[in-house]
Amino acid sequence: MTALLVAGAWWFVWYHSDPEESAVITPALPPNTQEVIVDHAIDGDSLQVHAVNANGPVVKTTEPVQLRLLGIDAPEVHGGEDRQAQCYATDAYRRLLTLAPAGAKLHILADQQKLDNFNRYLVWAWTDKSSFINEDLAAGGYARPLHIPPNDRYNKRIDEVVAAAQAANKGLWSACPA
């Protein structure tokens, strides 16, 4: 009987747990972030969003725009030359969908360079519960580090969690050939 109660309690906690609980939590949002609403994830490190307010410090329109998360490079869902998804791309995409589902409010922060060559906004992003999305993806082994100079505000943090993910063989570090 006790085992049945313990199993039932475990199932209840698991079933009702918040998927963001395992995310990397930042004590508070940094200053000068801008609120955006997620339209949809594009792949494991890119999103389409629209700004809540067109007068924000990053995005100057409420029309849909694309974001590229700084500091990380998730495997490509849409593939490379052979057009097949890269190893661990679906996992990275699903993790980003968990952290930033359609309709979710995010807080974004630009670094030195606002746009890349594809007119995507280069950002660091947090969920409404202060989970640092870029860092979460790196810590879980969903992305490799990618430095895009001069945007280096959180590169050291990203590098530290990537090193820990590699050492623990998390995510793509164990699933994908080098």
- For residue range 4-19, list pLDDT tens digits in order: 443 444 333 333 444 4
Contact present, 145 and 164 (Cβ < 8 Å): no
CATH of domain 30-173: 2.40.50.90
Q: What is the pLDDT of residue 170?
A: 97
Q: What is the pLDDT of residue 10?
A: 39
- The domain segmentation of the chain, as residue ranges, is 30-173
Task: Report d(CA 177, CA 169) in Å as an integer.
Answer: 12
Indicate the pairing of strand 121-127 with strand 65-69. Answer: parallel
Give the residue-averaged pLDDT of 108-134.
Answer: 97
Q: What is the pLDDT of residue 84?
A: 81
One-letter amino acid of 129 = K
Characterize 45-76 residue by residue with b for buried, 16 or more Cβ atoms within 10 angstroms of its Cβ, and e for exposed.
bbbbbebeeeebebbeeeeebbbbbbbbbbbb
Q: What is the pLDDT of residue 178?
A: 73
Q: Return the number of other C-beta atoms located less than 10 Å from residue 138's C-beta.
A: 32
- pLDDT tens digits along 93-104: 999 999 999 999
Contact present, 122 and 114 (Cβ < 8 Å): yes
Q: Is the pLDDT of residue 25 over 60?
A: no
Task: Report d(CA 59, CA 62) in Å as an integer.
Answer: 8
pTM: 0.84
Task: Report d(CA 46, CA 38) in Å as an integer.
Answer: 11
In the block, tokens 């992003």 appear at 125
- pLDDT tens digits along 29-54: 999 999 999 999 999 999 999 999 99
